[in-house]
């Protein structure tokens, strides 16, 4: 593995010799001078020993400063500037070349490859969500993990391969004399060492790495473009939850179409193309609606699903405008139902970027107060990862919001790194188990165990448990057996616009009343679940 730029090595060898020559010249000059002085000034009474001593003293007097200024000081300065150069060129944590040096070395290898007409590979490797690790185990643990990750990467590859930490949690490897046919074998070679748990202190940490691959000269003919294109492939790997992707020209059009979508979304917000849909949450004990979740929809020609445009809005900063719009629309709707004599609590999803923006939360507080709506009718849904990534900040902020009277729900629980031990610290009122676990509870024993134990533990912490994404009666019955408090999903109703929801709500309540009265008159009670399902 390359350690030092050839330029630095050259400097380090040549400079000390120059200094030694300078000092030797000084010695010869001074000695010559002393001899001239001794010859010119007659000193008959001094014997040869005293003369030799004076000679040595005079020589020392001149040579010591010369040694200091010509040899020691420049050498020390050189060591310092080499250290600084090392610091600039090599990552302190892993000892690997940083981006600039990596680029220089890759360009050099590309020149050789051009002469030999050979191909090379560029891997961009991302060791999972380090910011989560930082939050959960501290920055020292995050640093230690990065260090170990770098060491493992170095040990996997040949000495002629160039491993670099480009920055943050982005690593790169350039492999000369390798091509398309080697990719799968190399990816396999990475798997085992990088998937082995990392021991940080006495904690074992599992991480999932994502790889993007670019090929020289097929995908780019210079280091910068190859790094950029392999990074695009890595982004696709992460977005699609894959293990690795090879750069494809479509990656360019994906980034182009994202730019286009950004323009359309910004316009859609201005043109009022956003609409809130509502999905009921049903209490299992009595089958009553305990609230609805507000889910934004983008209507209009360019409309996309929220799982596509919300992440884009989060990355581009448009999310705050959406959040502000959602807050206003949800509070207005809750007030409209209140004015009809209906008490329907509304949950709103709040992205991390808006949650930690005090202007957004101030807006919600002021708007709820302006409309004289009871705070407890609004539940703030925040994802587990949004909370865990900023645990301390989340704790302060959510405690403040809870003290005002809002309810707090932890959404998509089970998808992050957290455990209930952390949730216990938060002033949450509700826990929503992510639908990826719910979908498989009938077929996957492990998922069923996770869901059942989460329900049990959440109840011990006096949190209401919501299962989302329930699509059929079998799953609903299983969850009821597990003791789940509240269920939300297509089984009861898909998200509906405000008008359709009102019809569904009134019909549901009417059937409940009918059901209750037939129970009272000794009837068996009809199957309320699903009877109001909408398509
Ligand atoms: P989420 O908050 O976890 O919302 C639940 C998602 O599951 C919704 O998708 C809902 O339509 C869907 N769903 C509900 N029941 C079922 C079911 O039985 N089966 C299946 N397969 N899906 C079901 P949707 O509306 O597409 O929203 C996706 C995500 O987008 C939401 O996940 C939330 O993270 C985000 N989102 C939606 N609206 C907003 C919003 O107003 N603000 C923010 N920040 N994020 C939002
Ligand atoms: Mg939600
Ligand atoms: Mg969810």
- Tell me what pLDDT residue 519 has: 63
Tell me how far apart the alpha carbons of residues 284 and 477 are, in angstroms, rounded to a whole number.
10
Q: Ligand 1 pocket test: which of 295, 323, 473, 492 has the largest number of ligand atoms within 8 Å of its C-beta?
A: 295
- Predicted local confidence at residue 15, as pLDDT: 59
Q: Is the CB of 490 under 6 A from ligand 1?
A: yes
Return the residue matching tokens 């019809």. 503
Instruction: Report how far ligand 1's centroid is from the alpha carbon of 358 (Å).
Output: 24
Q: Which two tokens stand for residue 177?
A: 């004399």
Q: Give the pLDDT confidence score for residue 492 in this predicted structure.
A: 97
**pLDDT of amino acid 528:** 40
Please, where in the chain does CATH 3.30.70.270 lie?
A: 99-248
Location of each CATH 3.20.20.450 domain in the chain: 274-534
Q: Which residues, listed in sequence order, are joined to residue 146 by a DSSP beta bridge? A: none
Q: Say what the pLDDT of residue 249 is.
A: 86
Which CATH number is associated with domain 99-248?
Answer: 3.30.70.270
pLDDT confidence of residue 1: 41
Ligand 1 atom 21: residue of nearest CA:
469
| Strand ordering across the sheet containing 120-126 | 162-167, 170-175, 120-126, 210-216, 244-246
SS3 of residue 345 by DSSP: coil
Measured CA to CA, the distance from residue 167 to residue 184 in angstroms comes to: 26
The structure tokens listed for 261 are: 């979508």
Q: Label the pairing between strands 170-175 and 162-167.
A: antiparallel
Residue position matching structure tokens 């050099």: 108
Ligand 1: atom nearest CA of 310 is 45
Quote the Cα angle for 430-531-307, to 5°. Answer: 45
Q: How many CB atoms lie within 10 A of CB 217?
A: 15
What tens digit of pLDDT does each residue of 144-154 get? 999 999 999 99
Report the separation in Å between the CA atom of 295 and the middle of ligand 1, taken as the mean of its atom positions.
Answer: 6
Residue 168 backbone dihedrals phi, psi, to 5 degrees:
50, -125
Measure 35 CA to ligand 3 centroid, in angstroms: 93
Three-state SS letters, 423-434: HCCCCCCEEEEC
Q: HSE of 366 in the Cβ direction (CA atoms, 13 Å)? A: 7
Nearest 10 degrees: Cα torsion 512, 513, 519, 523: -80
pTM check: above 0.85 = no
With contact defined as beta carbons under 8 Å apart, do 287 and 519 qualify?
no
Strand blocks (E) in 219-345 = 244-246, 274-283, 289-298
Q: Which superfamily, per CATH, for 274-534?
A: EAL domain (3.20.20.450)
Q: What are the phi and psi torsion angles at 257 (to 5°)?
A: -70, -30
280 lines ligand 1 (CB under 6 A): no
Q: For 158-227, where are the E strands, in sequence order?
A: 162-167, 170-175, 198-200, 203-205, 210-216
Instruction: Report d(CA 432, CA 410) in Å as an integer.
Output: 6
Q: Is 469 in the pocket of ligand 1 (CB under 6 A)?
A: yes
According to DSSP, residue 90 is labeled B
Is residue 326 within 6 Å of ligand 1 at its C-beta? yes
Tokens of 26: 């000084």
Tell me the three state secondary structure of residue 173: strand
pLDDT under 50 in the chain at which residues? 1-14, 522-535
Asked whether 15 and 74 are in contact (CB, 8 A), the reply is yes
From the CB of residue 336, how many other CB atoms can be counted at a distance below 10 Å?
A: 13
Q: State the distance from the centre of ligand 2 to the C-alpha of 90, rounded, in angstroms.
A: 44
What is the tens place of the pLDDT at every residue in 246-286?
999 888 777 778 888 999 999 999 999 999 999 999 999 99
Atom of ligand 1 nearest to the CA of 295: 38
- State if residue 215 touches ligand 1 by the CB under 6 angstroms criterion: no
């Amino acid at each position: 593995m390359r350690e030092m730029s050839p330029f630095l090595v050259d400097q380090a060898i040549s400079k000390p010799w120059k200094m030694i020559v300078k000092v030797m010249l000084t010695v010869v000059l001074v000695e010559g001078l002393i001899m001239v002085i001794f010859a010119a000034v007659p000193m008959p009474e001094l014997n040869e020993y005293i003369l030799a001593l004076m000679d040595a003293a005079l020589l020392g007097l001149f040579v010591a400063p010369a040694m200091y200024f010509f040899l020691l000081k420049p050498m020390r300065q050189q060591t310092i500037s080499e250290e600084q150069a090392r610091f600039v060129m090599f990552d302190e944590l892993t000892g690997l070349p940083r981006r600039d040096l990596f680029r220089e070395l890759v360009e050099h290898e590309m020149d050789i490859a051009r002469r030999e007409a050979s191909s090379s590979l560029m891997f961009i490797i991302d060791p999972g969500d380090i910011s989560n690790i930082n939050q959960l185990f501290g920055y020292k643990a995050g640093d230690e993990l990065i260090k170990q990750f770098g060491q493992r990467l170095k040990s996997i590859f040949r000495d002629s391969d160039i491993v670099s930490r480009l920055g943050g949690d982005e690593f790169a490897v350039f492999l000369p004399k390798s091509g398309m046919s080697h990719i799968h074998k190399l990816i396999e070679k990475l798997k085992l060492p990088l998937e082995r748990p990392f021991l940080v202190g006495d904690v074992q940490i599992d991480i999932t790495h994502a790889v993007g691959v670019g090929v020289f000269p097929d995908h780019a003919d210079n280091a910068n473009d190859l790094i950029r294109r392999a990074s695009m492939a890595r982004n696709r790997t992460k977005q699609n939850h894959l293990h690795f992707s090879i750069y494809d020209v479509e990656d360019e059009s994906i980034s182009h179409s994202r730019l286009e979508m950004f323009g359309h979304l910004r316009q859609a917000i201005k043109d009022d193309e956003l609409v809130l849909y509502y999905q009921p949450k049903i209490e299992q004990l009595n089958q009553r609606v305990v609230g609805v979740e507000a889910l934004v929809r983008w209507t209009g020609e360019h409309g996309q699903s929220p799982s596509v445009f919300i992440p884009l809005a989060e990355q581009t900063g448009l999310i705050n405008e959406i959040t502000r719009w959602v807050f206003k629309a949800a509070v207005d709707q809750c007030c409209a139902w209140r004015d009809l004599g209906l008490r329907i609590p509304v949950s709103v999803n709040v992205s991390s970027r808006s949650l930690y923006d005090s202007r957004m939360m101030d807006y919600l507080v002021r708007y709820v107060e302006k409309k004289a709506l009871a705070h407890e009718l609004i539940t703030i849904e925040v994802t587990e990862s949004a909370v865990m990534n900023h645990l301390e900040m989340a704790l302060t902020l959510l405690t403040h919001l809870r003290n005002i009277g809002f309810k707090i729900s932890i959404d998509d629980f089970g998808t992050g790194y957290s455990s209930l031990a952390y949730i216990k610290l938060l002033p949450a009122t509700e826990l929503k188990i992510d639908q990826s676990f719910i979908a498989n509870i009938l077929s996957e024993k492990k998922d069923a165990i996770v869901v059942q134990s989460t329900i049990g533990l959440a109840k011990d912490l006096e949190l209401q448990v919501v299962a989302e994404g329930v699509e059929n009666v079998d799953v609903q019955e299983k969850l009821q057996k597990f003791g789940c408090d509240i269920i939300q999903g297509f089984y009861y109703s898909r998200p509906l616009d405000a008008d359709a929801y009102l019809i569904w709500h009134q019909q549901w309540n009417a059937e409940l009343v009918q059901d209750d009265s037939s129970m009272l008159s000794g009837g068996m009670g009809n199957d309320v679940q699903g009877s109001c399902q909408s398509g």
